[in-house]
Structure formats: structure tokens, C-alpha cells
């Protein structure tokens, strides 16, 4: 027997659960399918979320989900390091498995039907991209679901896109990240998120994201695939500040995976299909921060789908609804994508330190481009970092300007 629904959500990650909750809460008959038996497991994530994004969320995260707080972000490149502090640089750690399970439960409480161990394997498509039916594999056999709207929140594997005829290629669009939860570490500062830039993380970065005084997610990413990521990880482990902290560590869990940098598709809406989360490249560069943006976009997709079902709006307004909230943050983030790729194969220490300056907001994008065009040498850029780090007033002034910009953005998004 064919199941019918208003909204079919594919994938119960943060994007799918947020979309399903919003659609169901707004009155749409919503089914969310998840191919795994346990939502959120296995974890493929660093589990950090920026505190600055919490005010943009459509619903609050219960305090018990925020298991550890990092009030400093330290950047390392070559022999240099500098730290940023304050609300805009604060990171909360989640237990992703528990967090994703909570989000899925929340969707159920709002009225969505969640079908676990249910994998999308085929789509029936009418003209263009209009999906009329979805074929799913369940422990009880193959079933058909006939939806009016499909929300594709199936992550980087992008099954919905593939079934619609797109050819998403992870090697040219995504970064690959080796990430491990480690215990028994000797962290120099358990309240500091440490970001490392250098040849060991081509195009992106390596990190130590503490989850407690002695545990952390430790990872290395790349967008260049001519070298084994394991070698990059080993090179990262050899850095003196890393060896000193992680050398004593023991492996708790592998949390590796792929994270989008470039988009698989040009649009977020294809006829009655809305794309949410990783499949739509909805994360903020340079840190490829996807959890909170994905929840916000999922909420807007769910509300848009429910409005469409009630005859109160078209589906293609979904991108505008996202732009009205976190659009400026996506615009800023998109500007960094060409830079990540341009510098990905550079072995020049100057470029690593330049990226440190940009990522730590010591310089603006304009200044970054000027320094690159002017072929400014390593020592001069080192001087910029050292003056910034030593200066008693530069950081507070920068903090104030950043905060004002942030509050303006927040007010505009209301
Ligand atoms: C190693 C690593 C570290 C990261 N660290 C961070 C971080 O610290 N902070 C941060 O903000 N972001 C981080 N990210 C990014 C973040 O994890 C993602 O942006 C986020 O999970 C995207 O959520 P999503 O709902 O789009 O997709 P996902 O979380 O991937 O969820 C997709 C779901 O769809 C299901 N699915 C897939 N195909 C099918 C199918 N055919 N049928 C049914 N179900 C299907 C999957 O099983 C999965 O549950 C990291 C990513 C990686 C890989």
C-alpha cells in the first residue's frame, strides 16, 4: 500500500529534523525517513557550534545539550599563534549523537512521523524534477511514499540529487576530514578551540576541539587529493604543540567524514524538491560550520513547504526566507571559497600566515587581497600578527566593531 503525505523529509540529521518539526508544527502531514536504525550514529563531526549563531536559531537548544564551552579560539601557523576571545569567538561542544536524537524526538513531538531504517532508493519523477513517488527500503520490505513536497536533507551522499539526475562529485566539491575523539590528552588550555594552518591540512585546517579537560576531537581536513589524508594527519601529529598535547592520547572514536565546500547544484529548489543542509552546502567557511546554519535552513524549508501545502505561498521563496535571516553570513562565507581553493596547493609559509590573519579577522578580505597582490613578504605579515597579538587596544576595538556588526545583522533578521 502506498503511503501518502504532504511533506517527505529524507534524512534525520539536524537539517531534516528541523525541517520535519517546522512542517509538522505548521500543520503539514510530514514523514521523515532515516536509513540508519539510530539517528545520529555514527557521529561524523567535530561537534562544535559557534555561540554567536544561537540567537538566530528558530528554537532554543536546552542547556544540557551544551556539554562544554570554549571561550577562546587560538590560531596557529608556522611558529606563530594568536588567540581571539569574547562571545563571537566562543564555541559550545555538543554530543552529536544525543543532539541529533533530541532533534528527531522534537520533530516527532511536533507531529512528524519518523521512519527509521528506511532508505530512499528510487524516485518517480514527472516533468522536470517533480517527484510524485519515493521508493523506500525498510526491514519489512519495499514501500512507496507519495509526497507533495520532498525535502532532501540527506547530506553529502546526496541520494535525492543523484536520483534526480545530478552528478554530485565529492572530490571536486567537498573536503575530507579525518577526525578522532581522543582521551587522556594533556591540553594546554581545555577551554581553547585550536585551529592549525599549514601544509598538513591542504586548503582547510586541522583542529583540536576540547570536549572536557582531557578529551578532544582532533582532526585534519583537505581539499587536495593527491596525498593520503593519513599522511597529513601524521604530519599534523608531529607538530611540537600538537605532539605535546595529543601524544599521550588514546583513541575513543573515529568521527571522520566529508564536508561540503563548493555546491553540488546551482539552486536550493527544484520543482517540488527543497535542498537542506550539506546537500545544499549550507555551512559557513572557513570553519565549515554546518550544524546551526543547517537547522536554520531546515526550519525555513519546513515552514515554506507547509505554507505551500496550505496554498499560502510558492516553494521557490525558500532561499529568500533563508537570505532574510543568515543571508549576509552566507554571502561572507561564499567569498572565502575561491581563496580556500586558490591557496590549497601553496607550500609558502607566507600564505599560511596570511590565512591565519584572515581567519582570525586580524585583517579584512580587502587587506588580504592587497597583501597578496603586493607580494608582501613573510616577515612583514609576521609583524602584523605580532603587533596585533601584543597590542592592548586592537583586540577590544575589533571586538566592539564585530559586536556592533553582529547586533545589526541580528536586528535585521528579526
Ligand atoms: C569530520 C567532520 C567534522 C565536522 N565538524 C563540524 C563542527 O564541529 N561544527 C559544525 O557546525 N559542523 C561540522 N561539520 C559539518 C556538519 O557535521 C554538517 O554540516 C551537518 O551534519 C549537516 O547536517 P545535515 O542534516 O545536512 O546532514 P547529515 O548530518 O549528514 O544528515 C543526513 C542524514 O541523511 C541520512 N540519509 C542519507 N541518505 C539517505 C537515504 N538514501 N535515505 C534515508 N536517509 C538517508 C543519513 O543517514 C543522515 O542521518 C563537520 C563535518 C565533518 C565531516
- In this structure, what are the phi and psi dihedrals at residue 247, rounded to the nearest 5 degrees? -50, -35
In a domain, 85, yes or no: no
The atom number, within ligand 1, closest to the CA of 290 reads 19
Mutate to test the pocket of ligand 1, among 8, 22, 35, 173 (most ligand atoms within 8 A of CB): 35
CA of 44 to the centre of ligand 1 (A): 7
In a domain, 66, yes or no: no
CA of 95 to the centre of ligand 1 (A): 14
The atom number, within ligand 1, closest to the CA of 282 reads 19
Q: Is the CB of 16 under 6 A from ligand 1?
A: yes
Q: 135: burial class by Cβ within 10 Å (0-12, 13-18, 19+)? A: middle
Terminal Cα distance for the chain, rounded: 44
Residue 115, beta-bridge partner list: 33
Reported as a single tens digit per residue, the pLDDT across 362-404 is 999 999 999 999 989 999 999 999 999 998 888 888 888 888 8
- The grid coordinates listed for 83 are 588567540
In a domain, 20, yes or no: yes
**Residue closest by Cα to atom 39 of ligand 1:** 154
Q: Is the CB of 40 under 6 A from ligand 1?
A: no
**How many domains are contained in the chain?**
3
Supply the pLDDT for residue 396.
81
CA of 278 to the centre of ligand 1 (A): 6
Domain stops at, among 260, 295, 323: 260
Q: Is the CB of 120 under 6 A from ligand 1?
A: yes
Distances (CA, A) of 29 to 228, 302, 305, 363: 46, 11, 11, 49
Supply the pLDDT for residue 393.
81
Q: Is the CB of 283 under 6 A from ligand 1?
A: yes
CA of 80 to the centre of ligand 1 (A): 33
Mutate to test the pocket of ligand 1, among 33, 291, 330, 333 (most ligand atoms within 8 A of CB): 291
DSSP-based three-state secondary structure for 129:
coil
26 and 100 inside one domain? yes
- Are β-strands 174-183 and 257-260 bridged in parallel, bridged antiparallel, or unpaired? antiparallel
Yes or no: say if 179 and 218 are a contact pair by the CB < 8 Å rule: yes
In angstroms, the CA 70 to CA 197 distance is 19
Q: Is the CB of 277 under 6 A from ligand 1?
A: yes
Mutate to test the pocket of ligand 1, among 19, 53, 154, 322 (most ligand atoms within 8 A of CB): 154
In angstroms, the CA 117 to CA 320 distance is 33
CA of 13 to the centre of ligand 1 (A): 6
In angstroms, the CA 19 to CA 151 distance is 8
CA of 397 to the centre of ligand 1 (A): 36
CATH of the domain at 251: 3.30.9.10
19 and 119 inside one domain? yes
- Quickly tell me which residue has 528510487 as its cell: 122
Q: Is the CB of 175 under 6 A from ligand 1?
A: no
In angstroms, the CA 375 to CA 3 distance is 62
Domain stops at, among 226, 260, 294: 260
Yes or no: say if 88 and 403 are a contact pair by the CB < 8 Å rule: yes
**CA torsion, ordered 139, 15, 280, 291, to nearest 10 deg:** -120
In a domain, 81, yes or no: no
Reported as a single tens digit per residue, the pLDDT across 73-116 is 999 999 899 999 988 999 999 999 999 999 999 999 999 999 99
270 and 252 inside one domain? no
CATH of the domain at 278: 3.50.50.60
Q: Is the CB of 267 under 6 A from ligand 1?
A: no
The continuous run of DSSP H or E covering 368 comes out as helix 365-373
In angstroms, the CA 76 to CA 62 distance is 33
Mutate to test the pocket of ligand 1, among 36, 45, 119, 280 (most ligand atoms within 8 A of CB): 45
Supply the pLDDT for residue 226.
86
268 and 251 inside one domain? no
163 and 185 inside one domain? no
208 and 245 inside one domain? yes
In a domain, 26, yes or no: yes
Domain stops at, among 278, 296, 331: 331
In a domain, 100, yes or no: yes
Angle between the 14-25 and 291-309 helix axes, to the nearest 10 degrees? 30
288 and 213 inside one domain? no
CA of 189 to the centre of ligand 1 (A): 28
Q: Is the CB of 152 under 6 A from ligand 1?
A: no
291 and 273 inside one domain? yes
Question: Half-sphere exposure (CA, 13 Å, Cβ side) for 401?
Answer: 9
What is the pLDDT tens value at each position of the chain, 414 positions in all?
Answer: 899 999 999 999 999 999 999 999 999 999 999 999 999 999 999 999 999 999 999 999 999 999 999 999 999 999 899 999 988 999 999 999 999 999 999 999 999 999 999 999 999 999 899 999 999 999 999 999 999 999 999 999 999 999 999 999 999 999 999 999 999 999 999 999 999 999 999 999 999 999 999 999 999 999 999 889 999 999 999 999 999 999 999 999 999 999 999 999 999 999 999 999 999 999 999 999 999 999 999 999 999 999 999 999 999 999 999 999 999 999 999 999 999 999 999 999 999 999 999 999 999 999 999 999 998 999 999 999 999 999 888 888 888 888 888 888 888 777
Say which residues have a Cβ less than 8 Å from residue 360's Cβ, sequence separation at least 6. Answer: 73, 75, 82, 84
CA of 295 to the centre of ligand 1 (A): 11
In angstroms, the CA 160 to CA 52 distance is 32
- The grid coordinates listed for 270 are 527544484
Q: Is the CB of 210 under 6 A from ligand 1?
A: no
Supply the pLDDT for residue 405.
81
Q: Is the CB of 278 under 6 A from ligand 1?
A: yes
- Are β-strands 257-260 and 250-254 bridged in parallel, bridged antiparallel, or unpaired? unpaired
307 and 323 inside one domain? yes
The total number of residues shown for the chain amounts to 414
Supply the pLDDT for residue 227.
87
| Residue range of the domain that includes 396 | 335-413
Question: b or e along 346-368 (b: 16 or more beta carbons within 10 Å of the residue's beta carbon)?
Answer: eeebbbbbbbbbbbbbbbeeeeb
CA of 314 to the centre of ligand 1 (A): 27
In angstroms, the CA 139 to CA 314 distance is 36
**Where are the alpha helices (H) located in 54-189, listed in sequence order?**
96-109, 159-163, 170-173
Q: Is the CB of 291 under 6 A from ligand 1?
A: yes
In a domain, 399, yes or no: yes
15 and 127 inside one domain? yes
What would the DSSP string read from start to end of 246-291? HTT-EEEEE--EEEESS-SSS-SEETTEEE-GGGGT--BTTTTB-H
269 and 353 inside one domain? no
Q: Is the CB of 294 under 6 A from ligand 1?
A: yes
252 and 206 inside one domain? yes
In a domain, 25, yes or no: yes
62 secondary structure, DSSP code: P
- In this structure, what are the phi and psi dihedrals at residue 277, rounded to the nearest 5 degrees? 85, -145
Amino acid at each position: 500500500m502506498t503511503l501518502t503525505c504532504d511533506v517527505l523529509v529524507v534524512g534525520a540529521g539536524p537539517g531534516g529534523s528541523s525541517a520535519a518539526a517546522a512542517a509538522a508544527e505548521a500543520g503539514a502531514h510530514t514523514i521523515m525517513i532515516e536509513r540508519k536504525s539510530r539517528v545520529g550514529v555514527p557521529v561524523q563531526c567535530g561537534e562544535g557550534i559557534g555561540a554567536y549563531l544561537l540567537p538566530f536559531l528558530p528554537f532554543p537548544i536546552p542547556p544540557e545539550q551544551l556539554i562544554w564551552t570554549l571561550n577562546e579560539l587560538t590560531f596557529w601557523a608556522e611558529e606563530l599563534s594568536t588567540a581571539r576571545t569574547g562571545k563571537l569567538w566562543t564555541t559550545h561542544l555538543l554530543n552529536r549523537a544525543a543532539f541529533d536524537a533530541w532533534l528527531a524526538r522534537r520533530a516527532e513531538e511536533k507531529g512528524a512521523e519518523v521512519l527509521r531504517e528506511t532508505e530512499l532508493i528510487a524516485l518517480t519523477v514527472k516533468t522536470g524534477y517533480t517527484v510524485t513517488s519515493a521508493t523506500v527500503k525498510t526491514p519489512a520490505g519495499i514501500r512507496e511514499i507519495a509526497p507533495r513536497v520532498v525535502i532532501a536533507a540527506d547530506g553529502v551522499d546526496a541520494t535525492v540529487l543523484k536520483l534526480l539526475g545530478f552528478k554530485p562529485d565529492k572530490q571536486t566539491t567537498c573536503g575530507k576530514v579525518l577526525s578522532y575523539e581522543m582521551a587522556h590528552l594533556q591540553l594546554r588550555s581545555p577551554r581553547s578551540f585550536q585551529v592549525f594552518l599549514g601544509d598538513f591540512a591542504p586548503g582547510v585546517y586541522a583542529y583540536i576541539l576540547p570536549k572536557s579537560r582531557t578529551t578532544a576531537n582532533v582532526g585534519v581536513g583537505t581539499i587536495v587529493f593527491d596525498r593520503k589524508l593519513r599522511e597529513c594527519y601524521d604530519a599534523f601529529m608531529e607538530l611540537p604543540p600538537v605532539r605535546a598535547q595529543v601524544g599521550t592520547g588514546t583513541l575513543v572514536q573515529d568521527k571522520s567524514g566529508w564536508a561540503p565546500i563548493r555546491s553540488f547544484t546551482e539552486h536550493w529548489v527544484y520543482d517540488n524538491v527543497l535542498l537542506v543542509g550539506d546537500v545544499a552546502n549550507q555551512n559557513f567557511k572557513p570553519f565549515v560550520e554546518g550544524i546551526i546554519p543547517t537547522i536554520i535552513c531546515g526550519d525555513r524549508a519546513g515552514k515554506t513547504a507547509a505554507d505551500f501545502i496550505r496554498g499560502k505561498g510558492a516553494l521557490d521563496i525558500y532561499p529568500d526566507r533563508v537570505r532574510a535571516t543568515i543571508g549576509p553570513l552566507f554571502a561572507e562565507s561564499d567569498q572565502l571559497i575561491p581563496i580556500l581553493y586558490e591557496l590549497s596547493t601553496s607550500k609558502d609559509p607566507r600564505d599560511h600566515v596570511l590565512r591565519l590573519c584572515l581567519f582570525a579577522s586580524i585583517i579584512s578580505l580587502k587587506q588580504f587581497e592587497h597583501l597578496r597582490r603586493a607580494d608582501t613578504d613573510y616577515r612583514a605579515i609576521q609583524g602584523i600578527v605580532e603587533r596585533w597579538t601584543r597590542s592592548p587596544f586592537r583586540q577590544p576595538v575589533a571586538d566592539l566593531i564585530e559586536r556592533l556588526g553582529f547586533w545589526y545583522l541580528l536586528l535585521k533578521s528579526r
